[in-house]
Amino acid sequence: MNDQSPKIASELSEHKAVIQAHLVSQSRFAGARKKNLTLLIAFAIWVALPTISAAIYYFFLASPMYVSTAQVTVRDLQGRGNGLLDSFIGKSFGVAGNQDAQVVREFLRSRQVVEELDGMVHLRKIYGDPTKDIISRLEKDSTTESLYNYFLDVSDVEFDPDSSVITIKVRAYTPEQAHLINESAIMLADNLVGVMADRARNDAVAFGKKELETAEARLREANRRVIKFRNEEQDLNPGESAKAVLGILASLQQEIVKTRAQLAEASSYFQPNTVAISTLKTRLAALQEQLRSEQARLVGATGTYPKSLSDYEALNLDLTLAERGYAAALASLDSARKEASQKTMYLVPFVEPNIPDESTYPRKLTSILAIFVGALVSFGITALVVASIREHLSL
């Protein structure tokens, strides 16, 4: 009996160890099963549920939307071409610079266009149709900001800088609505281009008119000063008057020379006190006195002509310059008007807005796949982070 006791104890110990090992194994299996079940539930909630919900929405609930596409460009008559597009639309016209086309592109994406389109085609009524699905439609009683952001989502304006082509895409619930909105947007853009062209022409002509007005005012002032001078001096042209005085001086000198010759000749025949000699001497003295008076008048002994002549020359120079400036301004205005007449810029929709015959939105498979991939990636990253945190806490 005593000999079997150690053997029985050993068997009991082994049996107990087996039972403990089995219990540990069952505990680990239960923990792993619980962990996998938790992971599976999390996957179902995180990935499967959004994907299935998206599939149900896109295949059964989403309202179809149609896309109307148009392509436009800005043309002018300046002869500026742009490669392939220039050969396409004709070389007698040109494609306006990229800057003008970019302005049109930004205008089509502006709040002003959305507000004007809402007034023209009633965007709120079109996109807020209560019969369409609640996710894609515009919310009821939407603000202007909400309408603007919504329209940016359902429209797209692309610009190609190489060809200056603007591509306009608009989505709506019916083909006719998409076509109407796209056509109305192009109409607004065409009005903008017309306003830009008119402003460019008006600015060019307005600058020329302003310069002409300035030149005309300067000419009027110069002419007024000349007229005032003539009225004060009682002389229409001091320069011509000076020439006349010089002519008088020359004539007087000739008469003096002639009278001296006559006096010398008469002195050889008559006595000094004779009437003939006295008459010639008196005439000679009168001529000399007149000569001195005219000389003094001319050279400034009495201050008459030098100052007035210099003043007149200065005024006349101002008048001449003003006349030339006025002529130049007039020519510049005429040139600006001719150039402005050639600044005819307008929008050309060389691809008219189409009426789509098939719904292309929403893109069901692409959207569902994007949701699935996004949910799967985020789930994987989250699972790795949680596992890393658990492992760190278990250490």
> How far is 136 from 138, CA to CA, in rounded Å?
7
User: Which are the contacts of 216, defined by CB distance < 8 A and separation ≥ 6?
Assistant: 326, 329
Q: What confidence category does residue 63 fall into, taking pLDDT thresholds of 50, 70 and 90? A: very high
Hey, what are 286's tokens?
């009168």
pLDDT attached to residue 115: 95
Q: How do residues 326-363 score in pLDDT, each as one tens digit?
A: 899 888 888 877 777 766 777 888 899 999 999 998 88
Closest to 313 (Cα-Cα) out of 242, 374, 247: 242
Spans of all domains in the chain: 5-61+365-394, 66-207+344-359, 212-341
Helix (H) or strand (E) holding 349: strand 346-351
CATH class of 66-207+344-359: alpha beta
- Asked if 356 contacts 67 with a C-beta cutoff of 8 angstroms, the reply is yes
User: Which amino acid would we find at residue 166?
Assistant: I
Phi-psi region of 89 (alpha: psi -120 to 50; beta: other; left: phi over 0): alpha
Distance (Å, rounded) from C-alpha 322 to C-alpha 215? 7
Q: At what angle do helices 49-56 and 364-394 cross, to 10 degrees?
A: 170
Q: Is the pLDDT of residue 174 over 90?
A: yes
- Whether 302 has a pLDDT exceeding 50, the answer reads no
Which DSSP string corresponds to 106-172? HHHTSHHHHHHHHHHH-HHHHHT-TTS-TTTSPPTT--HHHHHHHHHHHEEEEEETTTTEEEEEEEE
User: Is 70 within 8 Å of 186 (Cβ atoms)?
Assistant: yes
Tallying the residues shown for the chain, one arrives at 395
Mean pLDDT in residue range 68-80:
79
Weakest mean pLDDT among 70-74, 244-248, 379-383: 244-248
